[in-house]
Amino acid sequence: MAKKSASASKHSHQSGISQYYGKLVFGPEQQSKYLSKSAVQAINEAVTLGKTISRSMADEVARGMMEWSLDLGVTHYTHWFQPLRGTTAEKHDSFFEPTGQDTGIEVFSGKALVQQEPDASSFPSGGIRNTFEARGYTAWDPSSPAFIMPKAGAMTLCIPTIFVSYTGEALDYKAPLLKSIAFLKKSATEICQYFDPKVTTCSVSLGIEQEYFLVDASHFNARPDLMFAGRTIIGNSPAKGQQLEDHYFGSIPNRVLSFMADFEVKAHELGIPLRTRHNEVAPAQFECAPQYEDMNLAVDHNSLLMDLMHSVADDHELRVLFHEKPYKGINGSGKHNNWSIITDTGVNLLAPGSTPESNLQFLTFFVNTIKAVHDHRDLLRASIATAGNDHRLGANEAPPAIMSVFVGDTLEHVLNGFASNTKNNASGRAGSIQIPTIPEILLDNTDRNRTSPFAFTGNKFEFRAVGSSDNCASSMVVLNTIVGDQLVKFKSEVEAGLNANKGAKVEDVISDILRRYIKDTQRILFGGNGYGEEWKQEAKKRGLSNITTTPEALQAYVSKESADLFVRNGIFSHKELEARTEIRYETYVLRLQIEGRILNEMVNSYVLPSAINYQKRLADSVATLNSIGVSNEAGKTQRVIIEQLGDFINRLYTLNEAMTAERAKANNLEHADEKALAYCNKVKPMFDEIRECCDEIERIVDDAEWNLPKYRELLNLA
């Protein structure tokens, strides 16, 4: 039976989420209670203006942060960061310092707040750090408020930080994300000056929809593949999967709703603005989504949310699966990134308004974003390349690996009209659904296209191709950088046009450039079925890449064009870019190495013994029939099954040995990219062949002989 959460019962009778939202966050409200006005101002200026907080002011912030924490029962603090390994990291230290044999005090200094020294050699570095060189630094990020994480009866103050090497290179997701955000804000603000001089800065907004699966803990613990690979490497499809489409938006199972309610309460206490929860398409698949936030905070909150969901699931004897494709034959999971840019005057630069055809500011940012995706589409594809996402991209539930942009019929009509300098009316229209008592509805300017990897959805772009287990910083660093770089190029063209024609109006110069961009990027626009084979053929004609594997996709990171892009704009150094690409290759190989070892173990320890035991039972049955003089016809079915099992056993053993040998060859390759390609092209295809044999054996053998939970158990959360 699932355990009941203390948090859920504590808040079940309160009037609303607002009563406890952010209670465990050292945000503006708590800062005003525990800090002086000058300290609060110093934090605000660091966040909004990028000013450095002095060491003396850091001491005051640290004291106030500690007092707040102690009042809530905290004993330890940690620098909370996101190294390049897919999970968060933390090392806990206590506030306590002894002053004698039986006395002590709580102390927390500005130095301890601002920086610490985790062992940099023990985290992925892509060769930046040697194993004998340990020093690295975590540095406080004031733009992401500290929070208190209650877990297993302990209360820990978590301070969001970046993580860099002793020589200054970024070793985490956050540092380059902050650089890319600052770059895009500056580029966007300069373009806004053409339209509204009152705009002094912009913010980058992000909303991250998180899909996930749940599985009973006992079933999870009985599946080595789920435990160590996050997906079922073998498993026969159940009789009922998602064929009836009866799970999507269905009634949430009681056990799941209890889990959701618990993690939502804890998330709200931590200032994560969760708003939506629902069943997803596949059985045992669900989704949660927050309201939009500043991008840095949104990425931090998504990483924190994943940690939180794992923790709360334990209380309910459940396990959360964030793998992009945990089950064969049913939908996988993604992480939709809803991205937009907001001015400090409150204008969403991607909001078309009622007349987008005459909204030149909207068209400027809209078209430049499309141009950025068009020019750097392979790099954007590389940003979401992982071993897990390779299983999902292009399947029936996910965008294809072909990078395209969906804008909808109305806005595509607007773009075409603008490019040809003809007027098109694109305002929303009232529609009637012809049912008494139902009011008219205002139809949006765009429909939604769930098959598009990069879709405009009303007042934002939704990057739908990000994998559910991935840290969103990877894709957002690329998106911010390519759009920021495009805006810089656009500004340069505008200034050149104005200088070439002193009497020209800025609006006319901008319009001429946008018309050219629209014509140049037509091939990236696609509003049809991205799942169809027809689109693959059409995309090939248009010159769009269909990069289906991670090793192939990652090559875009180390191209001269990409290196120039990142280095020119101060996002990565050459060394950092090479190191990160190396880490991504290494991670890909390690994932497949683990899967290969697990598959080998499951074949030898589970599948073959089950098949042989059942084969023996059938043979004993035939022998018994023969011993009592029954005709051979009576044992005909048993003999057929015995022969079938014999064929599968022999084939499975041979394939498993061949796969092991192929893995050994790949492991002996020196370079990470060569090793990744070998695993992708030589080893991984053998996984599918082995699985086919295993799944046929599962289909044939008696349940009593099959020692693994089947899909029908794994997908049932009743």
Is 60 within the bounds of a domain?
A: yes
Question: Residue 94 belongs to what H/E stretch?
Answer: strand 92-94
Tell me if 399 sits within 8 A of 393, measured CB to CB. Answer: yes
Tens-place pLDDT, residues 70-118? 999 999 999 999 999 888 999 999 999 999 989 899 999 999 999 988 8
d(CA 7, CA 257): 14
Question: For position 373, which CATH number holds?
Answer: 3.30.590.10
| Close Cβ partners of 335 (under 8 Å, ≥ 6 residues apart) | 208, 209, 210, 211, 302, 466, 467, 468, 470, 472
Specify the pLDDT at position 121. 74
pLDDT at residue 127, as a whole number: 74
Q: Give the model's pLDDT for residue 2.
A: 42
Angle (CA) 641-644-646 rounded to 5° is 110
pLDDT band at 390 (very low <50, low <70, confident <90, very high): very high
**The one-letter amino acid at 664:** A
Same domain, 464 and 535: yes
pLDDT mean across residues, the chain = 91
> Confidence band (pLDDT; 50, 70, 90) for 661?
very high
Question: pLDDT tens across 359-382, in order?
Answer: 999 999 999 999 999 999 999 999
**119 and 206 part of one domain:** no
Element (H, E) at 290: strand 285-290
pLDDT attached to residue 112 = 94
User: What is the share, in percent, of the chain residues with pLDDT greater than 70?
Assistant: 93
Would you call 261 helix, strand, or coil by DSSP? helix
Per-residue pLDDT at 429 exceeds 70: no
pLDDT bucket at 431, cuts 50 / 70 / 90: low
pLDDT band at 17 (very low <50, low <70, confident <90, very high): very high
Judge if 604 and 463 occupy the same domain. Answer: no
Domain count, the chain: 3
What's the pTM value of the predicted model, to 2 decimals? 0.94
Query: Which pLDDT value is given to residue 4?
Result: 43
> Same domain for 546 and 662?
no
Q: Same domain, yes or no, for 166 and 192?
A: no
In a domain, 2, yes or no: no
Question: Residues 131, 254: one domain?
Answer: no
Both 113 and 252 in one domain: the answer is no
With cut-offs at 50, 70 and 90, classify the pLDDT of residue 397: low
The band of 503, judged by pLDDT with boundaries at 50, 70 and 90, is confident
Q: In the chain, what are the helix, strand and coil shares in percent, each to the nearest 5?
A: 50, 15, 35
Report the pLDDT value the prediction gives residue 13, as an integer from 0 to 100.
Answer: 44
Per-residue pLDDT band for 404 (boundaries 50, 70, 90) equals very high
Same domain? 149 vs 248:
no
Q: Which domain holds residue 51?
A: 18-170
Neighbours of 351 (CB within 10 A): 17
285 belongs to a structural domain:
yes
What's at 476, amino acid-wise?
Answer: M
